[in-house]
Amino acid sequence: MSGFPRRTILKLTGGLCALLAVATRRSSAAPPLGEARPYAFEQLRAQARARAREAFQPLPRPAPETVAEIDYERHGAIRFRPELALWAEGPGRYPVTFFPLGRFFPHPVAIHLVEGDRARPVLFDPAHYTSPPDSPWRRLGSEAGHAGFRIHESRARPDWPRQDWLAFLGASYFRAIGELGYYGLSARGVAVDTAEPEGEEFPAFTAFWLHPAIAVEDPVVIDALLDGPSLSGAFRFRAWRGAGVEMEVEAHLFFRRRVRRLGIAPLTSMFWYAEYGESRWLDWRPEVHDSDGLAIWTGAGERIWRPLNNPETVVVSSFLDRDPKGFGLLQRDRDVEHYLDGVRFDRRPSAWVEPLHPWGEGAVQLVEIPTDHEIHDNIVAMWVPREPPPAGGEGSWRYRLFWLAEDPYAPRGLAQVTATRIGRGNEPGKPRARDIFRIVVEFAGRALDALPEGTLPEPVVSASRGTLLQVMVEPVPGTRRLRIVFDLNAPGPEPVELRSYLRLADRALSETWLWQLRPGAAG
């Protein structure tokens, strides 16, 4: 999906991976700056619009053979000197350090410091980085450049060089730390033709303008110019560091040609396996994933939970909607015993997208790509407008992006799905049938806790094909959870779309569980 291993970014931006050099004293030195020129975001929008009228010019790649030698390990050994960080001594609250070029990040980006209505370019100086004596990066010299940047915790903290909370690196990718202190999934400025047979396009942020946050309540403001073969764009990110990270995103896109599948507010994550699926036998750990489900709050108000799959072939699922209230890739399972991994999958953030204006007709699309390892991001969730702008057209979208532990708008009056379990169905005393599947969906929440003792809600289950058998609801022993249990007789390899929820009289007690069962992949 991304063209480079996800572990690379995780290592480079992770809270556990401290900067190798920690400033023992504060220096008056700072990154060198170029000449100040007038700047306003309106100018950036005009620049992006004008660029879309011209032929696309690919980004330069300095010394590509040398940069290709800077692999995963070598890239991680190159560090910007933290005492030379932008705003290390103010006026911005959050210092900024920079990433070097490498095999997976071969394009330099322009970075500017905004001061009032003027901006000055941050000049590249290789002396501001540390690297091993035998690093091929040293051969690049002054012809290299910065590949991206990261924003650190407040300089008021004595250990600020050791923790960053927001990073932009590679194509239009960025990620933020969650309230549990770890990085995980990524976001992108835009997705172009994801999962299309002709191949995906990866537009890239080519230049950034950084505005300092002075007061505690101020956001860091990041403006960005995006460019790619099909479109150009102007972005403004306003980011607040709180319990987690909250961002407001303003995206203005200008189209050179019509895009087959336009992804707005795309989220990218990793799902290898969970408590269900055959992949759980491929590794010793009980579960391996950064996110375990797609949550949707539809324009009509329905709450949907779709557990993620690691399919055998690329699968695209579309959830048609109009003016959605939000969607996100969440990590709901927070039990460390379910992972047993030192990289702490149990603490990965959930990301939620909240539109700030009506988005019209379209679909939340989920793209699931086969993977046989955790190093690959294989999940994409995004909003796909029904009618993307034509060649020569333009469009604007605004949304809020939350990086937290949970859905910020989780309904307290509905039970949530806590587990999905799948096995073979059978009748007592008979061999297990290959075409019969037993499916168990567990729910928990205040709506169930408030039920009178002995009261069980009605299980509502439907399937796009096949026959439902033995549908029931029962308590999960030793817990306050309830589970829907049913068998599905579904001969043949065609996928089956399943849907279920809990109901009491005419009132839904739970969110809606959706699932795509692929009988042919079940062995």
Q: SS3 sequence, 461-494?
A: EEECCCEEEEEEEEECCCCCCEEEEEEEECCCCC
**Greater model confidence, 523 or 307:** 307
**Domains held by the chain: number:** 2
Give residue 238's pLDDT band: very low, low, confident or very high (50, 70, 90).
Answer: very high
Q: How does the average pLDDT of the chain come out, rounded?
A: 90
Give residue 280's pLDDT band: very low, low, confident or very high (50, 70, 90).
Answer: low
Average pLDDT over residues 192-217: 95
CA 429/CA 485 separation, integer angstroms = 19
Q: Which helix or strand (DSSP H or E) is residue 330 part of?
A: strand 326-330
257 domain-assigned: yes
Q: Are residues 227 and 356 in the same domain?
A: yes
Give residue 344's pLDDT band: very low, low, confident or very high (50, 70, 90).
Answer: very high
Give residue 160's pLDDT band: very low, low, confident or very high (50, 70, 90).
Answer: confident
pLDDT of residue 10: 47
**Greater model confidence, 242 or 427:** 242
The answer for 438, left when phi > 0, alpha when psi is -120 to 50, beta otherwise, is beta
Residue 29 has pLDDT above 80, yes or no: no
Minimum mean pLDDT range among 239-248, 270-279, 370-379, 394-403: 270-279
Q: Are residues 252 and 363 in the same domain?
A: yes
The pLDDT tens digits of the residues spanning 77-104 come to 999 999 899 999 889 999 999 999 999 9
1 domain-assigned: no
Give residue 427's pLDDT band: very low, low, confident or very high (50, 70, 90).
Answer: low
Q: Are residues 93 and 197 in the same domain?
A: yes
What are the structure tokens assigned to 54, written together?
């011209």
Residue 26 has pLDDT above 70, yes or no: no
**Greater model confidence, 143 or 363:** 363
Q: Are residues 397 and 433 in the same domain?
A: no
367 domain-assigned: yes
Whole-Å CA distances, 330 to 71, 199, 226, 440: 31, 27, 27, 20
Q: Are residues 100 and 177 in the same domain?
A: yes
219 domain-assigned: yes
In terms of DSSP bridges, do strands 512-517 and 303-307 run parallel, antiparallel, or are they unpaired? parallel
**Greater model confidence, 513 or 159:** 513
Q: Are residues 393 and 451 in the same domain?
A: no
CA 18/CA 22 separation, integer angstroms = 9
The pLDDT tens digits of the residues spanning 364-392 come to 999 999 998 888 899 999 999 999 999 99
Query: Containing domain of residue 216, as a range?
Result: 6-404
The total of other beta-carbon atoms located within 10 Å of residue 507's CB is: 10
What are the structure tokens assigned to 195, written together?
């999962």
What are the structure tokens assigned to 444, written together?
């928990």
Residue 47, SS3 per DSSP: helix
Give 74's contacts (C-beta < 8 A, 6+ positions apart).
102, 132, 135, 136, 137
Q: What are the phi and psi torsion angles at 87 (to 5°)?
A: 65, 25
Domain final position from 373, 404, 435: 404
Domain final position from 346, 369, 404: 404
Q: Are residues 400 and 464 in the same domain?
A: no
Whole-Å CA distances, 88 to 63, 99, 139, 251: 31, 16, 28, 29
What are the structure tokens assigned to 212, written together?
């300092």
Average pLDDT over residues 237-257: 97
Residue 28 has pLDDT above 60, yes or no: no
Q: What DSSP string runs through 244-282?
A: SEEEEEEEEEEESS--SSEEEEEEEE-EEE-SSSGGGGS
pLDDT of residue 461: 98
CA 26/CA 56 separation, integer angstroms = 43
Q: Are residues 353 and 471 in the same domain?
A: no
Give residue 15's pLDDT band: very low, low, confident or very high (50, 70, 90).
Answer: very low
Q: Are residues 80 and 183 in the same domain?
A: yes
110 domain-assigned: yes
Whole-Å CA distances, 40 to 37, 52, 250: 10, 19, 15
In this structure, are residues 364 and 321 in contact, taking their beta carbons and an 8 Å threshold?
yes
pTM exceeding 0.85: yes
What are the structure tokens assigned to 515, written together?
């699932």
409 domain-assigned: no
pLDDT of residue 453: 85
Residue 315, SS3 per DSSP: strand
CATH number for the domain that contains residue 437: 2.60.40.10
Residue 8 has pLDDT above 50, yes or no: no
How big is the chain, counted in residues?
A: 523
What are the structure tokens assigned to 167, written together?
């990073």
In terms of DSSP bridges, do strands 315-322 and 361-368 run parallel, antiparallel, or are they unpaired? antiparallel
